[in-house]
Structure 1
């Protein structure tokens, strides 16, 4: 009598995200929400969102950081009050400042791309976050001008930059530096 033994196949399907990845993604989506509630209301609210986005990208990397930001945006889109001022819903995303929120996705996407091209190096991470933030500003400002002009009247690029970008540059650079220092310290002690 001949018996056959089943040979295990080595074909392993790759998961997009593991359970650990999903838990970290959810945790950082919540961190972004909590940091968005810490705000000073202005034309574009001054919040700690960018700090949380930088932390998510620095601690989790581009892929998981992208999903954390995406989950945060989707939670807000369905009406959960995760945006500044405890607001939620598509109206916020389609409003004048919605472009800045959607533009947050550029930061981890660019970091993911640079990770693939240059590896995970601190200087590459910092530069990609600065470029990503600049692209977020550009997208958000174009969105702001379009929505503001359609709903309230003319808005020039100079005025949009004066209200929506220039007051935030220094603070966002400080938040980036703080996020990098904090993330580096955490990554030395905890394997994320």
Structure 2
């Protein structure tokens, strides 16, 4: 392989750029669709992350998630409850949003190593979700425990993970079913 073909392989095509931007927008819209069940609502945000990875693959899905997070970081109201800015990312629940990057990087590396078969994709998304939960929960404990109040790891799991886990499993299953059907008919 010569140097110019290696460079072209690393470049994004126009189609990839458009799909990356589109999925960043889809993540924003899905984060706005919320069912309040306490201090942290149920959203379709993780569903959009699963779809971005399932349809775009590891590389483009990771970049779509990064664009989504960067849009929120600069202040656009793309996060749940129309929040944006660094404060949304550095707050107690910001670790779950930042954990999407870890989920995507794990998916990208896993598909490079093990391929793109459906069982591999499902397993990588499930492990990625667990990593996102772990990172977000540790972040929540550190952000919530501010000297006056303390939060235990189990307490954070009770508040931030256990109520949402069944919904996220349903979102993962729906996303993989939808993505596998879409991929049969559309070349993405």
Per the normalisation by structure 2, the TM-score is 0.94
User: Whole-Å Cα distance in 2 between the matches of residues 10 and 92 of structure 1?
Assistant: 42
Match of 2:31 among 28, 31, 36: 36
DSSP-derived class of the 2:150 partner: coil
1:26 is matched with 21
Which stretches in structure 2 are left out of the alignment for 5+ residues?
A: none
Q: Which runs of 4+ in 1 moved over 2 A?
A: 9-16, 40-45
- How has the CA–CA distance of structure 1 residues 138 and 81 changed in structure 2, closer, same or farther, with 3 Å as cutoff? same
2:176 is matched with 180
- Determine which structure has more spread, i.e. the larger CA radius of gyration: 1
The alignment status of 1:156 with 2:152, answered yes or no, reads: yes
Q: CA RMSD in A?
A: 1.4
The alignment status of 1:46 with 2:46, answered yes or no, reads: no
* 1:187 Cα deviation from its structure 2 partner: 0.7
2:4 is matched with 11
Which stretches in structure 1 are left out of the alignment for 5+ residues?
A: 1-8
User: Whole-Å Cα distance in 2 between the matches of residues 58 and 18 of structure 1?
Assistant: 18
CA deviation digits over 1:83-115, x for unaligned, max 9?
000110000000010000000112221111111
1:123 is matched with 119
* 1:123 Cα deviation from its structure 2 partner: 0.5
User: Whole-Å Cα distance in 1 between the matches of residues 52 and 107 of structure 2?
Assistant: 11
1:3 is matched with none
1:5 is matched with none
CA deviation digits over 1:108-157, x for unaligned, max 9?
21111111111111111100100000000000000000000027611111
- How has the CA–CA distance of structure 1 residues 46 and 151 changed in structure 2, closer, same or farther, with 3 Å as cutoff? farther
* 1:16 Cα deviation from its structure 2 partner: 3.0
2:76 is matched with 80
